[in-house]
Amino acid sequence: MIRALLLAGAATALIAAAPAQIPERSIQPVVGDPVATDSGRVAGTQLPSGVHAYLGIPFAAPPTGDLRWAAPQPLKWTGVMPANRKGAACIQVLRPHDINHYFGEEATSEDCLYMNLWSPAAATPASKLPVIVFIYGGGFTIGSSGMANYDGESVAKAGAVFVNFNYRVGAMGFMAHPELTAEQGGHSGNYGLMDQIAALKWVRANIAKFGGDPDKVLIMGQSAGAGSVISHIFSPQSKGLFRAAVMSSGCNYKTDGQTLAEAEKAGLAMQERFKASSLAALRNVPADRILAAQSENQLGLSVSGVRIGGPIIDGFVLPVKKAEALAAGNINRVPVIASYNSNDLSFGFEPLLAAKTVADYTAAATKLWGEAAPEYLKLFPVKTDADVPATARRAATEAGLESSARFCAREQARLGLPAWIDEYARVHPYVPGVRLADQNTATVGAYHTADIPYFFGTQDAYNMFRPTRNWTPWDRELSAKMMGSLIAMAATGSPDTPAMRWSGWTPKAESKIVFGDSISTVKLDPKRLDWLAAHPASTTPVVRPRGANPID
């Protein structure tokens, strides 16, 4: 039944009307358009705020036909391209309408390599403004630049150029195969990463025409998007395309993706699934059927299929393992922000997080650390049952994304590069009684992705269809300061601003900034972090797709 629903949903997505972006009657042309890009001329829309929006710019040829499972190819057009509507998302399952991240039905298609760009009203080719490029998350199987919480109007109003774009996900974006490897000179897969590189090259070549400075490009990603940003830090193909990087949930300089040989096995399994005689035959299979054949564990689904998704050590985009690249210093040397949330993902810590009493907590610690449990309990003690939830969460956070952020900062420092760490801790002010299918608003806390509307000033997107948040003046102020730090990072290589002082992490001053009910600088606890790093939890983590975001 699930597979049938997937097939039906995908088919519906392919023919669904594009989401309403700007009603035709309200489109206001931008004075001075069209803009002559290297691909062709584009004409955008002036929003009521004065911001210039260029929506749905194709940055590569449609990856269809023989270009399915191929590197993105350049695209040129004649005439003027009307850039007033976002393009279709890359083919993926659709979102239930009662979840946190539902912002309207989106069309999906294989023809999906489109970019959105917002520039300040007064921007000219001489402005040389900082540029923020955002890469969405979604476990490498879902995600769209069309989501309203990723819009760039507020960032543009604040004085920077904002760009987001689609990249291929799932089997279309990351399927390797021996025939593809032979066809493409010894590597295959990573098409989603190649799409991202093509978009960054387009930005490099054209952003000055929209007021941006190609030498002040910051790339930012969340969850699987953060994993994408990491891939660009480690990819020689991305050299020179950005000057700073931000990873939200989180910074991972340790874990590698599949090897090419491992990924090719998944491609062969996909071929076998369809009894396809060759790669050419597999390219003729309808996209919705391929979507239904891949595994999916997000958006409330639990579909057993061919597991494909995520960066591959292919010898080209990602030539070697991270440890080898770091040892040789062969990374793109840029300043970074390693960001995570207080109630972020914590795979493997389910027993500890489920504890309700001191006895439960002690038993969970014993399950996770065995004979070393008493040492853990000294570092993370609880006196009463009321202490258990917060202490368990703190341990899970420190063992997970905080430790990862610290490792990134340490490697940056070893290579003479700066790093900043932040923890987002502000709980969204939910409307009392509001129900979301994928959240318990009373306990969800500063959840995975909760920081994004603050960085981008898109908080009102969460009230598009029904009131879910009662945003306060502090939420608006916090958003402005967080957004200002991003713009500063793009402009100068540091997120420190007069409005919000932010000290970088150093080996002698291990600190983070915490964005919560106030903004504070907090010291890390090296003793606890060192112990957790030396004593990984012994339980087997719940199996989820690489970079998965269960509440995306």
176-207 pLDDT, tens digit per residue, is 999 999 999 999 999 999 999 999 999 999 99
Range of 134's domain?
2-28+43-240
Q: What is d(CA 370, CA 386) in angstroms, rounded to the nearest whole number?
A: 24
Residue 297, both tokens: 């564990």
Predicted TM-score of the model (pTM): 0.93
Average pLDDT over residues 412-421: 98
**5 has a pLDDT exceeding 50:** no
- pLDDT bracket for residue 398 (50, 70, 90): very high
Q: What is the pLDDT of residue 309?
A: 81
What's the whole-number mean pLDDT along residues 235-252? 97
Task: Give yes or no for residue 21 having a pLDDT over 80.
Answer: no
Whether 446 has a pLDDT exceeding 80, the answer reads yes
User: Rounded distance, CA 90 to CA 111, Å?
Assistant: 7
pLDDT digits (tens, 9 = 90+) for 28-57: 999 999 999 999 999 999 999 999 999 999
Based on the number of CB atoms within 10 Å of its own CB, is 359 exposed (0-12), middle (13-18) or buried (19 or more)?
exposed
- Evaluate whether residue 414 is within a structural domain: no
Q: Is residue 421 part of a domain?
A: no
d(CA 136, CA 49): 25
305, pLDDT greater than 80: yes
Sorted by sequence, the CB contacts under 8 Å of residue 195 that are 6+ apart come out as 60, 63, 72, 113, 165, 166, 167, 168, 173
Looking at residues 420-446, what average pLDDT do you find? 97
Domain assignment present for residue 142? The answer is yes
C-alpha to C-alpha distance for 60 and 58, rounded to whole angstroms: 6
Q: What are phi and psi of 232, to 5 degrees?
A: -70, -30
What are the structure tokens assigned to 313, written together? 């050590």
Q: Has residue 59 got a pLDDT over 50?
A: yes
Query: Residue 152: which of 130, 124, 126 has the closest Cα?
Result: 130
3-state secondary structure of 92: coil
- Rounded Cα distance between 120 and 277, Å, is 53
Looking at residue 240, the DSSP 8-state letter turns out to be T
Predicted confidence (pLDDT) at residue 107 exceeds the cutoff of 50: yes
Report the run of H or E that residue 454 belongs to, with start and end: helix 452-456
Residue 550 pLDDT > 50 = no
Q: Is residue 537 part of a domain?
A: no
pLDDT of 486 higher than 50: yes
Give the confidence band of 1 by pLDDT, cuts at 50, 70, 90.
Answer: very low
The pLDDT value recorded for residue 75 is: 97
Whole-number mean pLDDT of the chain? 93
Count of C-beta atoms within a 10 Å radius of residue 486: 24
Q: Is residue 283 part of a domain?
A: no
Average pLDDT of the segment spanning 386-408: 97
Residue 89 lies in a domain: yes
Tell me the pLDDT band of 347, cut-offs 50, 70 and 90: confident
Pick the closest to residue 322 from 418, 407, 195, 224 (CA basis). Answer: 407
Q: Is the pLDDT of residue 283 over 80?
A: yes
Instruction: Report the distance separating Cα 244 and Cα 194, nearest Å.
Output: 19
- The torsion angle over the Cα atoms of residues 341, 105, 90 and 267, rounded to 10 degrees, is 80
Q: 524 lies in a domain?
A: no
Note whether 158 and 484 are within 8 A (CB). Answer: yes
- Omega prior to 34 cis, within 30 of 0: yes
CATH number for 110: 3.40.50.1820
On the question of pLDDT at 16 being above 60, the answer is no
At residue 3, the pLDDT reads 40
| pLDDT attached to residue 552 | 55
The pLDDT of residue 538 = 77
The answer for residues whose C-beta is within 8 angstroms of residue 149's C-beta and 6 or more apart is 101, 103, 452, 453, 456, 458, 461, 462
Six-digit token string for 546:
């690489």
Tens digits of residue pLDDT in 157-169? 999 999 999 999 9
The answer to whether residue 83 is domain-embedded is yes
Cβ atoms of 450 and 418 within 8 Å: the answer is: no
Number of domains the chain contains: 1
Chain CA centroid to CA 362, Å? 35
